[in-house]
Amino acid sequence: MAHLLRIVMIHGHLEGVVELSVDGHTNICGTNASGKTTLQRLVPVFYGELPNKVVPKTRMKFDAFYLPHRNSYLVYEYRREAGNICQAVLTRKTEGGVEYRFVGGPYQPEDYLVESEAGVAALDYTQWASGLRRSGTPVSPKLGATSEFRSVIQNDFTQLHGNSRDGLKLRQIAAQFSLVKPERRIRHIEKLVSAVHAKEGKMDT
């Protein structure tokens, strides 16, 4: 069955590496204001929710908060309906905002992290992507729009605007990285997940 397995934050709003396993029943425990909801807000983003929609308006933007550094990563490890394990990796654009890449393999700390005399640190984006490609691990082109990422992960292109060449490229990426098989669609799943998490919104909508 297709599902999210793990969320990994590297050099994000919390220092170092934070892993959250969501493969089954998961409890997030802590005192008030310890960051429980901050972690939970990451779940709808995997399904295609606009990142800035999950962040309170009183807080800084999603990329500035969750991806503050050049070597910050937000990794979603997931199992596809086809059975293989992939990653959706979010990084911060140079000019601000979020960009997305897909990786055709499970999360491996050594793909992201290096150890030196100063301690463990993450590679920057170019080093990370180049290292994966040298090892033969498939890495998709980066996607600069949430709508593109959403179309791929949901295998749904009905709301996508643009030329046919862009649509073909995204369909090719979806064939390799979508959660579901080619004949299936999970349109609006991000809205459902957001409504359940926030305990608001109308299910009929």
Q: What is the per-residue pLDDT across 93-134, written as a single tens digit (0 to 9) for each?
A: 988 999 999 999 999 999 999 987 778 889 999 999 999 999
Domains located in the chain, CATH noted: 3-145 (3.40.1140.10)
- Could you give the CA distance from residue 175 to residue 63 in angstroms, rounded to a whole number? 28
Burial class of 177 by CB neighbour count within 10 A (0 to 12, 13 to 18, 19+):
buried
- Which residue bears the tokens 């000019």? 95
pLDDT at 181 over 80: yes
DSSP state of 123: P
For residues 164 and 186, give the distance between their C-alpha atoms in angstroms, rounded to a whole number.
Answer: 22
Question: Global pTM?
Answer: 0.92
Cα–Cα distance, 205 to 192 (Å, whole number): 9
